[in-house]
């Protein structure tokens, strides 16, 4: 027989007579000694963190939630929602590729460059697993209905599949070539050769606020100006690259990319690069 939830009246009677704690209280107790930690700079950590926060920002009932990563012993508990402060505490093991794949690999082998700043990200499953735990911790027993839960998970699955990753800038004379990847399958791509458009904005290195954005505000049009005034392009999903020309040799730039849809998720911003580095690359390769 599956476990049955005790009626509140019975539960309160029990609590009045002996020191028993709810699961939530037990979890809070375990997280009491954990200390906050910063998000590691790896692509894996930054992508998991951004995708999770972007997803909370999409939903009305989670958009106020603050995500805090903690380290230290919390037993086997990974996630704990502090309702009073609207804070979701997550153990930082979820930001580590090795920890999240300990004894359960998702691929027959792993790329060796996973700690790079523009490494590939192919572990959408980690975001989904963390989200399931987070949603469960936030909603406790009054969990959302099954159909609503399936809808949430499909929404996140779709957004993750189109999440740009491996965003790279390559210097060209007076220009920069931007390229990226996503996690749609090759089979699906070839079924629809045109595919959806990505919105690529090449920000000036000094345009710092833009890189904090988690959600692509709304579908952009080619004749519109980007709010910060930086340059934009649109590129097909099947192509996944675009060339910006006529750039200043003395400036640095970074790219922000999202599917050109309302509230699509931005990928982790690219590293900063100057078109002027073309000469030094040429020089080095001689």
SS3 for the chain is CCCCCCCHHHHHHHHHHCCCCCHHHHHHHHHCCCEECCCCCCHHHHHHHHHHHHHHHHCCCCCCCEEEEEECCECECCEEEECCCCEEEEEHHHHCHHHHCCCCCCCCCCCCCCCCCCCCCCCHHHHHHHHHHHHHHHHCCCCCCHHHHHHHHHHHHHHHHCCCEEEEEEEECCEEEEEEECCCCHHHHHHCCCCCEEEEEEEECCCCHHHHCCEECCCCCCCCCCCCCCEEEEEECCCCEEEECCCCCCCCEEEEEEECCCCEECCCCCCCECCCHHHHHHHHHC
Q: How far is the CB of 106 from Zn ion (least distance, A)?
A: 3
- Should residue 106 be labelled a site residue for Zn ion when binding is judged by CB under 5 A? yes
- Among 6, 20, 208, 228, the residue binding Zn ion under the rule CB under 5 A is 228
- Should residue 114 be labelled a site residue for Zn ion when binding is judged by CB under 5 A? no
- Should residue 213 be labelled a site residue for Zn ion when binding is judged by CB under 5 A? no
Task: Choose between 6 and 228: whose C-beta lies nearer to Zn ion.
Answer: 228
Q: How far is the CB of 201 from Zn ion (least distance, A)?
A: 6
- Should residue 210 be labelled a site residue for Zn ion when binding is judged by CB under 5 A? yes
Spacing of C-alpha 248 from chain mean position: 31
Which residues on adjacent β-strands are paired with residue 204? 253
Q: How far is the CB of 202 from Zn ion (least distance, A)?
A: 8
- Among 50, 165, 203, 216, the residue binding Zn ion under the rule CB under 5 A is 203
Judged by phi (left if over 0) then psi (alpha if -120 to 50, else beta), residue 52 lies in alpha
Task: Choose between 228 and 243: whose C-beta lies nearer to Zn ion.
Answer: 228
- Should residue 208 be labelled a site residue for Zn ion when binding is judged by CB under 5 A? no
- Among 230, 236, 263, 276, the residue binding Zn ion under the rule CB under 5 A is 230
Give the x/- contact pattern for Zn ion in 115-134, rule: CB under 5 A.
--------x-----------
Q: How far is the CB of 221 from Zn ion (least distance, A)?
A: 17
- Should residue 219 be labelled a site residue for Zn ion when binding is judged by CB under 5 A? no
Q: How far is the CB of 165 from Zn ion (least distance, A)?
A: 13
Q: How far apart are CA 202 and CA 263, in angstroms?
A: 19
Q: How far is the CB of 210 from Zn ion (least distance, A)?
A: 5
Task: Choose between 124 and 235: whose C-beta lies nearer to Zn ion.
Answer: 124
Q: How far is the CB of 99 from Zn ion (least distance, A)?
A: 4
- Among 67, 207, 213, 241, the residue binding Zn ion under the rule CB under 5 A is 207
- Should residue 225 be labelled a site residue for Zn ion when binding is judged by CB under 5 A? no
Task: Choose between 109 and 283: whose C-beta lies nearer to Zn ion.
Answer: 109
What does the binding site for Zn ion look like in residue numbers (CB under 5 A)?
96, 99, 106, 123, 203, 207, 210, 228, 230
């Amino acid at each position: 027989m599956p476990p049955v939830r005790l009626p509140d009246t019975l539960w309160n009677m029990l609590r009045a007579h002996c020191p028993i704690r709810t699961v939530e209280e037990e979890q809070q107790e375990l997280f009491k000694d954990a200390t906050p930690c910063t998000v590691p700079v790896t692509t894996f950590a930054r992508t998991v963190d951004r995708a999770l926060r972007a997803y909370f920002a999409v939903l009305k009932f989670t958009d106020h939630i603050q995500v805090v990563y903690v380290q230290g012993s919390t037993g086997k508990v990974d996630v704990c929602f502090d309702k009073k402060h609207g804070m979701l505490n997550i153990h930082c093991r979820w930001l580590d590729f090795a920890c999240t794949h300990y004894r359960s690999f998702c691929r027959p082998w792993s790329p060796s460059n996973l700690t790079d700043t523009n490494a590939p990200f192919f572990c959408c499953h980690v975001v989904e697993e963390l989200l399931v735990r987070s949603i469960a911790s936030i909603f406790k027993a009054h969990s959302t209905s099954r159909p609503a839960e399936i809808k949430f998970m499909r929404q996140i699955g779709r957004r993750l599949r189109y999440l740009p990753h491996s965003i790279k800038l390559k210097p060209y004379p007076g220009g920069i070539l931007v390229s990226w990847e996503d996690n749609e399958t090759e089979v699906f791509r070839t079924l629809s050769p045109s595919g959806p458009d990505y919105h690529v904005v090449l920000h000036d290195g000094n345009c710092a606020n833009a890189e904090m954005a988690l959600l692509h505000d709304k579908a952009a049009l080619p004749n519109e100006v980007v709010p910060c005034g930086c340059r934009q392009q649109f590129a097909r999903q099947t192509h996944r690259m675009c060339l910006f020309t006529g750039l200043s040799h003395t400036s640095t730039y970074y790219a922000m990319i999202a599917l050109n849809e309302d509230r699509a998720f931005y990928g982790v911003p690219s590293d900063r690069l100057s078109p002027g580095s073309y000469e030094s690359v040429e020089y080095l390769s001689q």
